[in-house]
Amino acid sequence: MSYQLTIAHLYPEQMNIYGDRGNIITLRQRCAWRGIETTVLPVGPGSAVDWTTVDLAFFGGGQDSGQSLIAADFVERQAAGLRRAAEDGMVLLAICGGYQLLGHYFLTHAGEKLPGIGLLDVHTLGGTERLIGNIVIEASWGVDRQRLVGFENHSGGTYLGGGVQPLGRVLTGHGNNGKDGTEGAVWRNVVGCYMHGSLLPKNPHFADHLLTLALQRRYGPTATLAPLEDALELQAHTAMVERLT
Ligand code: GLN
């Protein structure tokens, strides 16, 4: 059976820092190696999207100024369709600035209140301190190799409500807010976190987890990914984990 996946990339021009686009490259390459065809759909300001056709969406990080450019468009144009798709199990990965806009709001350090779409029950408050550096977490969401490694740089601190689970617990670094030891938030197949890196090339097991969820939603529970020869990738991953913990 030949598989096909449609990947939506939210605001690729405005929201792409620290190589977050590398997540899209990784998803596509890991599919290509397995003969899975992918189509990437860029979603920019003003785009009309049929979210029922999307299997997996990605929303990268951005400066406060980049977020400010697209926040209203995101809420007005995409919130309703994206919510319906997410309720139906669509996979969505959001990093940092994208993660913040999936929450209820982001009150920036400068006092601007950027609206979010409230898909994740979180809110974010800008602070004076930058939470910056390498980060390692122990993930509690659906991955065999539980450690995830990345790089964070944010001034916003995110606080979780009762409607989400943390993605995991911080082993090294700051995570959601530098205070409560949590990192990221998960609801259904929607995951937001502060892990640039890029995240997916550094954590190929996590990339495959997201791809498996997307495939099984579209093709049923028997759809599985063929294993890849990941020795080098996992060696890089493990070297970072060992250096940082
Ligand atoms: N502008 C946001 C903050 O500083 C997000 C930054 C980012 O995406 N790296 O909190």
Kindly list the averaged pLDDT for each block of 10 residues, start to end, along the chain of length 245. Answer: 95 94 98 98 98 98 96 98 98 98 97 97 97 97 89 98 98 98 98 97 97 98 96 96 97
Name the helix (H) or strand (E) containing 244: helix 231-244
Rounded to whole angstroms, the Cα distance separating 22 from 26 reads 6
Q: What domains can you pick out in the chain, each with its CATH number?
A: 4-244 (3.40.50.880)
CA–centroid distance, residue 54 to ligand 1 (Å): 26
| 196 classed as catalytic | yes
CA–centroid distance, residue 97 to ligand 1 (Å): 5
Query: How much is the pLDDT for 143?
Result: 82
Choice among 96, 154, 174, 237 that is catalytic:
96
Query: How much is the pLDDT for 171?
Result: 98
pLDDT tens digits along 102-160 = 999 999 999 999 999 999 999 999 999 999 999 999 999 988 779 999 999 999 999 99
- Integer CA distances (angstroms), 114 to 59, 103, 191, 198, 231, in order: 16, 10, 20, 25, 42
Residues with CB under 6 A from ligand 1: 17, 61-64, 67, 96-97, 153-156
CA–centroid distance, residue 46 to ligand 1 (Å): 23
Atom of ligand 1 nearest to the CA of 130: 4
Rounded to whole angstroms, the Cα distance separating 117 from 119 reads 6
| 193 classed as catalytic | no
